[in-house]
Amino acid sequence: MSVVRALGRVCGCAVLAVAVGTASAQEKVAQLPIRTDGPKSLDPVVGSTVYDNMACAQIYETLLVNKYAKPTEKEPLLLAEMPVSEDGGKTWSLKLKPGVLFHDNACFTKTKGKGRELVTDDVFYSFKRLADAAYELESWWLLKDTVEGFDEFKRIQNWRGSMPERASWLSNQSPETFKKTLFDRELKNRLDTALKDKDEDEVAEITRKITEQFNKDLTPADLDTLAAEFANQPAATFEAAEFDYAAPVAGYRKINDYEFEIELVAPVTRFEWVLTMFQTSIVAREAVEKYGDDFFRNPVGTGPFMLESWTPKKDLHLVRNPNYHEVMYPERGEWDRPDQRNRLHRAAGQQVPFLDRIEFTMYAQDQPMWLQFEAGRIGYTQVPDEYFPQAFDKRTKELLPSVAARGIRGHANKLLDFIFRGFNMDDELVGGYGPKKKALRQAISLAVDLNEFNETFYSGLNVVYDGPIPPGLDGYPEGGTSSAAYQGPNLDLARSKLAEAGYPDGEGLPPIKFYTQNGGNSPEQTELLQRQLSRIGVELDVQLVDFSTLIDAVNKKNAAMFSFAWSSDYPDGENNLALFYGPNEAPGANHYNYKRDDYDEMYEQILTMPAGDERTAIMVEMRDMILEDVPYVGSMARERHYVINPWLLNCKPTERYYAWFKFLDVDDSKRPER
Amino acid sequence: MWAYLVRRLLYYIPLYLCILLVLMLLLRIDVDSAVAGQLGKQATPEQIQLKKDKMGLNDPFYKQYAMFLGDVFTLSFDQRSWEQELPVGEMIRKALPPTLMITLPSLAFTAVISIAVGLVCSFNRGRFLDRGLMIAAVLGMSVSYLVYIIIGQYFGAYVLGQQHGITPFEIEGYEAVFPPIEGSDGAWFVPGNWIKYCALPVIIGVGVAMGYDTRFYRAVMVEECARDYIVTATAKGATSKKIMFVHMLKNAMIPIVTRIMISLPFLIAGSILVEMYFSIPGMGRTMITAINGKDFPVVQATVAVFAAFVIVTVILTDVCYAIVDPRVRLS
């Protein structure tokens, strides 16, 4: 009996070995699309587009990440646990997950190419890169005015090189900027020399002089004089060291290799969301230094995949990181009912990634992407509007039975969009806060029928809603409508409001200068807007311009009315309410130049409040304040529909974040034969 | 002839320098807006200034011009693309081969087929064959290139593969036909890749271009048909094949050469539509992306290369005239 058992075991082991051998020989590969030309850079600090995000999020990782099963919530990724604050959100204690290794790469000379462990210094180094002007400060806005001493660090470190042209640039800046910039430079150069010579009297004297000089308000004449002096300085005066990553920042405090603290200027709720954004991903310093200008195509991170090849505008191939740290697929309980029905919980509790390779292909046009999906050659695709009726019932937005019968799954995502047409509140004609001025904007808003826009240009797929807070976030009105809104079409009320504004039937109202981009279907959308407004006698002076001219006109406050869209950076209504915060006025994100002290006070209040009913109530009050003042006509948000081929498993596409590709798996038996 | 070539080259150098000067001036009319556009709507004045510093746009114009001339005459194009961060020279080097794999065969097939059809039509002028082929040519010209691409891609690649299991052509994509040796298991020429990724775009391109070219060549041949030497050859009893391919074709070479030579510079410009729809990372796609994105270094470099090609082509055309027509003397 024992011999038979032993034989059985041997045979069993042999069969298992063959099976394992076959399985390991069969690579798991997913072919996935990137709509448009794809990423521009694989360096997170210079990335800005969703395609940069999509690529970077597979290679690098952030301290926190959105949850795959519930993307509006977050969880630790490179951290061992969620950050803790014991002083109401001003100082945060963070603990790194031990044993997280960077990708193996030739840049790690000390370890002969083996990826080393991630430590606290890597976090500080990666964050400091955001402040380095060599990367054009593309992502600086994320940590601007946020971390104690970081803005000062940025200013001091970026003054290097001698460029007399900067003087003329400086003289065009606000006195505040000029003062700060010059002061820092003086401080850095003159004091450094005095300190080097250990001349305490000189140090005291220079400090006193500088303080005296810049404590008074500067007139334009002072600025000119200073600019001239500045320009006449010998080049060597302004030569400073390279950006010094070792220089301390008061708000970054290292405890040990795995623990550190971050002190903020003031408690800000959004800080944790900043730690989920791909621009704050942790990079290997050795790689940045080794590859220099070519780091953007030689990325080294800690992510689940490593770059194999990247041909811009063509494809991007990633391979599994064999040293990926412990990250598990979400547990069954985290998935809601519909997701469980779609078997999204099937891999619960298993180590990721499942795929050996991901092959992204860039599609500049929709037809080839759609045909490749139909042929079963790519795992999923966003459904372009013109192909929507081929996959979904337009009325119910359900997958067509013929499509579902092929095992294809559908999935919809409401985007955090805020599509609007804004007013410049500083404009003489349409701006202002008096009853007549408000009545004019209310009349315009009441004359616009957003549903007609939705049907005509978006196949009725967009969500029309009141207020600036998009669907799914605290502060979004129930059912999308608020009683405070002047949502059209209500032509009778619009006409009476117009009369109230002093322009009965539009008489005496000059054409309103409306700036919009000349690409896509903007000209057609503008035609419709003109037609709708003409019903109450309002005329537009349309300026169809390219994007840079549009931005320029808005930033210089030359556009009375303009067409823009905003996509939330993180899932918190605060992000959208910031668009109306006075200090953010143009050229900042407050393109409307909306300024109300009571609104600003409330905004500052919610910035530091934890999420909850009290915060939401204030946000609703702010929203209704905006709706009453009508600094824009809106709003709409896009709803994106996806179709997923049966061979791609665990797929729940979301555009809130892109670090979810590691959860994907494939079942090759369900692929169509080629 | 060499003296003539040198003289022509010297004549074109100032012209070329002027082209580059005008190009750079035009691109710098509203440089701030272009930089702001690159940075997006959140761009601060500080960021715009930094970007301009990095791009060398704060340097005096003469310095920028001199640096660009240096790039052009050394063919280095070291400046990096604003959009893609890649050195422009590398972008052009990588985009040229896919484009040439499409445009060269397209030009060759179009020329050969169109000339042959033009000859046949002219020789059968007014007959059913001539009228039939001309109607087909006009029909071919009347439909947009985009329609041919969409239909060709759908039926030629997708339907053929999905419904009939025949997949000679890929729906989109590109793999090198002449891959670098180290990345291709030693193969330096992979004809299968050309059939898979380039043949369908070439077929579509030839189909569209034939409409225009056939009509042109027919007109040229018809004009030749009325010449005295054709009547003489016919009277002497030369066969129609000999008249067409020996006498008529040889004498019609000047306009044929002109038309082909005019097309040469466009070989490197590629086809925007084909490259966009078939996801071919060629010059057309590179150029249109650069123009849309106001990526000045790429626009400058591609225009400079294109202008140089046009000038070289014009000079070569003169040389070709001398070769095909012994009466032409280059002096």
Report DSSP letters for B230-296, one per residue. Answer: HHHHHHTT--HHHIIIIIIHHHTHHHHHHHHHHHHHHHHH--HHHHHHTT--SHHHHHHHHHHTT-H
Same domain, A373 and A344: yes
Asked whether residue A521 is assigned to any structural domain, the reply reads: yes
Does A149 fall in a domain?
no
Higher pLDDT, A463 or B183: A463
Same domain? For B146 and B283 the reply is: yes
Query: Based on the domain organization, do B69 and B113 belong to the same domain?
Result: no
**pLDDT > 90 in chain B, percent:** 42
Closest to A393 in 3D by CA, of A461, A471, A453: A461
The CA distance from A79 to the nearest CA of chain B, in Å, is 30
- pLDDT tens across A164-184, in order? 444 444 445 555 555 555 555
Q: Residues B66, B102: one domain? A: no
In a domain? residue B143: yes
pLDDT digits (tens, 9 = 90+) for A544-556: 987 767 887 898 8
For position B85, what pLDDT does the model report?
83
Q: Are residues A266 and A184 in the same domain?
A: no
Within 10 angstroms of residue A416's Cβ, the number of other Cβ atoms is 25
* Residue that terminates a domain, selected from B40, B74, B108: B74
Q: What is the pLDDT of residue A239?
A: 40
A490 part of a folded domain: yes
> Which B positions 174-233 lie with beta carbon below 8 A of chain A?
174
If asked whether residues A433 and A342 sit together in one domain, one would say: no
Count how many Cα atoms sit within 13 Å of the Cα of residue B154 in the half-sphere of its side chain: 9
Nearest residue of chain A to residue B60 (CA atoms)? A165
pLDDT, averaged across chain A: 86
The pTM score is 0.81
Residue of B44, B53, B91 lying closest to A587 (CB–CB): B44
Is the domain of A613 the same as that of A657? no
Interface test with B, best of A34, A35, A37, A158 (most B CBs within 10 A): A37
Asked if residue A134 has pLDDT above 90, the reply is no
A136 and B289 in contact by Cβ < 8 A?
no
Number of Cβ atoms within 10 Å of the Cβ of B54: 16
Contacts of A44 in chain B (CB under 8 A): none
Run of H or E including A385: none
- B331 in any annotated domain: no
Chain B residues lying within 8 Å of A138, measured CB to CB:
39, 47
Structural domain boundaries enclosing A86: 28-126+254-379+645-674
A599 and A511 share a domain? Answer: yes
Residue A8 has pLDDT above 70, yes or no: no
Q: B122: which 2 tokens?
A: 């002219």
CATH number at residue A580: 3.10.105.10
**Which ranges in A216-361 belong to alpha helices (H)?**
220-232, 271-274, 285-291, 337-341
| Cβ-defined contact of B49 to A548 (cutoff 8 Å) | no
CB atoms B289 and A169 under 8 Å: no
Confidence bin at B272 (pLDDT 50/70/90): confident
Least CB-CB distance to A547: which of B37, B94, B158? B37
CATH number of the CATH domain containing B266: 1.10.3720
| A537 and A560 assigned to the same domain | yes
Section A527-531 average pLDDT: 97
In chain B, how many domains are there?
A: 2
Q: Is B44 on the interface with A (CB under 8 A)?
A: yes
For residue A497, the distance in angstroms to the closest alpha carbon of chain B comes to: 33
Residues A278 and A346 reside in one and the same domain: yes
**Same domain for B57 and B160?**
no
pLDDT exceeds cutoff 90 at B53: no
B250 in a structural domain: yes
Residue A307 located in a structural domain: yes
In a domain, A136, yes or no: no
Whether residue A166 is contained in a domain is answered as yes
From the list B36, B154, B167, the residue facing A371 with the nearest CB is B154
What is the secondary structure of A73-126 as a DSSP string? SEEESSBSS--EESSSSSEEEEEBPTT-BPPP-TT-TTTTTPPPBP-HHHHHHH
Token readout for B65 is 């011009």
With bands split at pLDDT 50, 70 and 90, how would you rate the model's confidence at A313?
confident
Alpha-carbon gap: B44 to the closest alpha carbon of chain A (Å): 7
Beta-ladder partners of A564? A420
Chain B closest-CA separation from residue A155 CA (Å): 11
Residues A261 and A370 in one domain: yes
Total domains, chain A: 3
Q: Which of residues 254-293 of B touch A (CB under 8 A)?
A: 276-279, 281, 285-286, 289
Check CB contact under 8 Å for B85 and A41.
yes
Burial class of residue A586, CB neighbours in 10 A (0-12, 13-18, 19+): buried
Q: What tens digit of pLDDT does each residue of A26-85 get?
A: 899 999 999 888 898 999 998 878 899 999 999 999 999 999 999 989 999 999 999 999
**Residue B222 domain boundaries:** 96-296+319-324
Same domain (yes/no): A632, A495: yes
Q: Which residue has the higher pLDDT, A469 or A520?
A: A469
**Nearest residue, CB atoms, B85 vs list A40, A169, A362:** A40
Q: How far is A363 from chain B (nearest CA, A)?
A: 6
A463 and A515 in a common domain: yes
CA distance A637 to A656: 14
**Of A176, A210, A238, which closes a domain?**
A238
Q: Please tell me the predicted confidence (pLDDT) of residue B183.
A: 53
Task: Report the complex ipTM.
Answer: 0.84
Contact B49 A169 (CB under 8 A): yes
More confident residue, B207 or A167: B207
pLDDT class of A520 with cuts at 50, 70, 90: confident
Average pLDDT score, chain B: 87
Out of A207, A238, A269, pick the residue that ends a domain: A238
Nearest to B84 among A173, A312, A364 (CB): A312
> Is residue B68 domain-shared with residue B100, that is, in the same domain?
no
Q: What is the DSSP letter of A424?
A: -
Residue of B nearest to A551 (CA): B41
Tell me what pLDDT residue A218 has. Answer: 53
| Closest approach of B328 to chain A, Cα-based (Å) | 47
pLDDT of residue B187: 66
A281 plus A429 within the same structural domain: no
In a domain, B304, yes or no: no
The verdict on residue B134 lying in a domain is: yes
* pLDDT surpasses 70 at A185: no
Chain B residues with CB-CB distance to A311 below 8 A: 94, 281
Question: In terms of domains, do A473 and A575 share one?
Answer: yes
SS3 B117: helix
CB A331 within 8 A of CB A349: yes
